[in-house]
Amino acid sequence: MIIIIFIIRPMSLRMTPQRHAVLTLINGSARHWDAEAISRALQKNDQRIGIATIYRTLSVLEEAGLIAAVVIGQRKHYERIDKPHHDHMVCEACGRIEEFFHQDIETLQHDIAKRHGFCIQGHSLVIFGLCRQCQ
């Protein structure tokens, strides 16, 4: 957490119990969290944080580069930042989210962006289907 303070402070942000709780929760699992899921998980832990604060905290932590965001469906989910870049595969039946990385897919995206004169800044790739258990 010490490193957090070195990131947080120069942005004139303060480390609060709320921010600590959200960050600890996300860093403590491999899950993908949305605001509601975080709220519920913290309540189970007897940490109740106002929902507005959760939304604010997620934005702040994302902007500070301390968590990563993924849009799945039309909802924003957050996950720990300490994983290398990857894309997602979502089971339409059970909601299971699996991660994958394929260097060729990454490279080809850059190729095609260049071909269109686009300066690529990012991408969102989500594969929908049925996981092994659900098909």
Partner DNA sequence: TGCTATTTGATAATGATTATCATTATCTTT
Partner DNA sequence: AAAGATAATGATAATCATTATCAAATAGCA
Q: Per CB under 8 A, does 50 bind a second copy? A: no
Q: Per CB under 7 A, does 64 bind DNA? A: no
**Which of 29, 40, 63, 75 is the binder for DNA (CB under 7 A)?**
75
Classify residue 6 by burial, with Cβ atoms within 10 Å: 0-12, 13-18, 19+. exposed
Q: Which of residues 72-111 bind Mn ion (CB under 5 A)?
A: 79, 99
Question: Applying CB under 7 A, what is the total number of residues that bind DNA?
Answer: 27
- Write out the residues near a second copy by the rule CB under 8 A: 71, 73-76, 89, 91-92, 98, 100, 102, 104-105, 108-109, 112-113, 115-132, 135
